[in-house]
């Protein structure tokens, strides 16, 4: 599968990156080491020493630099070797690739294209733990499947009535009604109303509502969703368009999710979710996350099984349905942006 290189990929949770402790992640088949220097600066380099290809993620942070703990080569944050123990001459080629890295929305992002062309404005908007309006919790999963299968799953929620009948308990008509799909410059927006339904179990108010879920799915694979329950008749009154969010009476929640392709058959899935403070508390957040962990485990079983079938099928082909509109638009956008991406550079 093709992926966009000129894009920001989530590599870690901010709070999981301990100062002075190198962390390893593979993105698009490239091993990367990330660390916070003594000054707090974020750095990301190719996780492969130039000497004997030992992983720098097993190295030691020294001030702003990183030392390989196999034979002691010392690397600057720009990827250049500045010391070889017992050797005065340092070859010109003694350097590894430097990656642009940024911290936003409680995630560490790595730019997989040319570092000099990294554009912070292309970091997708999401909800981080620094947002005072929401009570969030986080999690992550590793998939034995290629990332595009996880992306496709998130772009077509018609599976909720089947894969998640024990967790999210979406009504059967969820699979029969098509959401509104809007094309964005770097993704798609999906809006779906479910009329006359109970509010979520973690919501404070009972009764029946018109429920709205709205999410953007953005390059390279980031989902940001807002959900809320509105008085009956709201969907019809607003013509199934977006209402004034202030009219939501229950169950206002957000979730941020990111899919990072590691190798051709592995992916890492980062997610956070929680209620608005006016619509829930810590107990509501914990109940919500319990359901989410159950549901995402259900996804994992299905998608990894799907990957096994694909791998044993000669010339595997899919038959799209009308539910695949978002999937098709997003994958066409990926192909377009990936085709326009420059060849990557291995130089620092």
Whether residue 232 is found in the same domain as residue 325: yes
Domain termination residue (choose one: 65, 99, 122): 122
Which candidate, 125, 118, 143, 132, places its Cα nearest to that of 186? Answer: 125
* Confidence band, pLDDT 50/70/90 cuts, at residue 235: confident
Q: Quick one: 115 and 145 in the same domain?
A: no
In angstroms, rounded to a whole number, what is the distance separating the alpha carbons of residues 35 and 41? 8
Q: Is residue 129 included in any domain, yes or no? A: no
Q: Tell me the per-residue pLDDT of 151-167, one tens digit each, with 9 for 90 and over.
A: 999 999 999 999 999 99
Q: In the predicted model, is pLDDT for residue 89 greater than 50? A: yes
Q: Are residues 282 and 221 in the same domain?
A: yes
CATH number at residue 49: 2.102.10.10
pLDDT tens across 279-336, in order? 999 999 999 999 999 999 999 999 999 999 999 999 999 999 999 999 999 999 999 9
| Among candidate residues 122, 146, 180, the one where a domain is terminated | 122
Q: Which CATH number belongs to the domain containing residue 192 in this structure?
A: 3.90.380.10
Do the domain assignments include residue 128?
no
Domain that holds residue 117: 8-122
**What average pLDDT does the segment 187-195 reach?**
92
Could you report the per-residue pLDDT of 9-45, keeping only the tens digit for each? Answer: 999 999 999 999 999 999 999 999 999 998 999 999 9
Assigned domain for 276 exists:
yes
Give alpha helix (H) positions in the chain: 147-155, 160-163, 234-237, 282-311, 325-340
In a domain, residue 80? The reply is: yes
State whether 187 and 294 are in the same domain: yes
pLDDT band at 348 (very low <50, low <70, confident <90, very high): very low
Angle at 239 (CA atoms; ends 234, 242), nearest 5 degrees: 70
pLDDT value of residue 1: 74
Is residue 2 a part of any domain in this protein? no
Residues 177, 34 share a domain: no
Check whether 202 has a pLDDT greater than 80. no
What's the average model confidence in pLDDT over 51-68? 97
Give the single-character DSSP code of 193. Answer: E
The tens digit of pLDDT for each residue in 61-76 reads 999 999 999 999 999 9
- The verdict on residue 342 lying in a domain is no
Q: Where are the beta strands (DSSP E) in 64-106?
A: 65-67, 74-75, 81-83, 101-104
Q: Is residue 345 part of a domain?
A: no
What does the pLDDT read at residue 62? 97
Q: Nearest Cα to 5, choosing from 126, 103, 111?
A: 111
Residue ending a domain, among 96, 122, 148, is 122
pLDDT at 86 exceeding the cut of 50: yes
**Are 118 and 145 in the same domain?**
no
Same domain, 296 and 229: yes
pLDDT band at 345 (very low <50, low <70, confident <90, very high): very low
Count up the domains in the chain and report the number.
2
pLDDT at 211: 86
Residues 203 and 263 in one domain: yes
Whether residues 98 and 151 share a domain: the answer is no
């Amino acid at each position: 599968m093709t992926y966009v290189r000129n894009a920001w990929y989530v590599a870690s949770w901010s709070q999981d990156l301990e100062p002075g402790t190198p962390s390893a992640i593979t993105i698009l088949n490239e091993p990367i080491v990330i660390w916070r220097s003594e000054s707090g600066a974020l750095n990301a380099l190719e996780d492969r020493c130039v000497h004997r290809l030992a992983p720098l993620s097993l190295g030691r942070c020294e001030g702003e630099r990183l030392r390989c703990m196999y034979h002691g080569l010392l690397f600057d944050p720009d990827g250049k070797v500045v010391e070889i123990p017992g050797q005065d001459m340092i070859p010109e080629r003694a350097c590894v690739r430097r990656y642009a890295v940024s911290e936003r929305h409680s995630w560490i992002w790595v730019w997989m294209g040319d570092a000099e062309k990294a554009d912070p404005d292309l970091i997708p908007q999401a909800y981080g733990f620094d947002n005072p309006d929401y009570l969030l919790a986080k999690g992550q999963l590793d998939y034995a499947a290629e990332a595009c299968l996880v992306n496709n799953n998130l772009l077509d929620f018609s599976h909720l009535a089947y894969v998640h009948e024990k967790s999210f308990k979406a009504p059967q008509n969820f699979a029969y009604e098509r959401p509104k799909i809007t094309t964005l410059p770097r993704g798609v927006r999906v809006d779906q109303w479910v009329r006359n339904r109970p509010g979520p179990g973690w919501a404070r108010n009972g009764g029946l509502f018109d429920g709205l879920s709205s999410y953007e799915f953005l390059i390279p694979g980031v989902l940001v969703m807002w959900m809320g329950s509105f008085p009956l008749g709201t969907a019809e009154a607003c013509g199934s368009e977006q209402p004034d969010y202030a009219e939501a009476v229950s169950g206002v929640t957000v979730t941020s999710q990111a899919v990072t392709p590691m190798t051709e058959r592995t992916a890492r899935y980062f997610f956070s979710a929680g209620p608005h403070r006016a619509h829930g508390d810590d107990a509501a957040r914990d109940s919500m996350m319990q359901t989410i962990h159950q549901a995402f485990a259900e996804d994992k079983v299905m998608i990894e099984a799907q990957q096994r079938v694909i791998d044993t099928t000669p010339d595997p082909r899919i038959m799209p349905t009308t539910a695949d509109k978002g999937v098709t638009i997003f994958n066409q956008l990926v192909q377009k942006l990936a085709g326009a991406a420059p060849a990557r550079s291995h130089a620092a």
